[in-house]
Amino acid sequence: MKKVAIFLAAVAVISLNACNKCADCHAAADIAGAEYEIEELGEYCDDALESIEASGYDIQDTVYLTVDGDSLPSPVYPGNIEVHCGEDH
């Protein structure tokens, strides 16, 4: 009986963790109709995921390169830029 209880508890924990909606996010800028990835932001889950997608991401310095080190066609100036999560670009 004890083994059954432990098994059911493990299944419940795994099930609850599976309900989390998580995604990897990155900051992106649209320049002349093309999207450029500016910075990797990491993984966000549930409310934090919804919040960052809705509010965007503030950059503090002028950005001249993509996250891969490629030159941007024009600099991205400090301010709020888009956040994309769970998407391959």
Mean pLDDT by 10 residues, the chain (89 residues): 52 55 94 94 94 93 96 96 78
In contact, 68 and 55? CB cutoff 8 Å? no
Which tokens in the block code for residue 77? Answer: 């100036």
Supply the pLDDT for residue 2: 57
3-state secondary structure of 81: strand
Question: What residues have CB less than 8 Å from 27, skipping those under 6 apart?
Answer: 37, 38, 39, 41, 57, 59, 81, 82, 83
Predicted local confidence at residue 86, as pLDDT? 87
β partners of residue 23: 44
Closest CA to 34 of 76, 1, 85: 76
Q: What is the per-residue pLDDT for 61?
A: 95
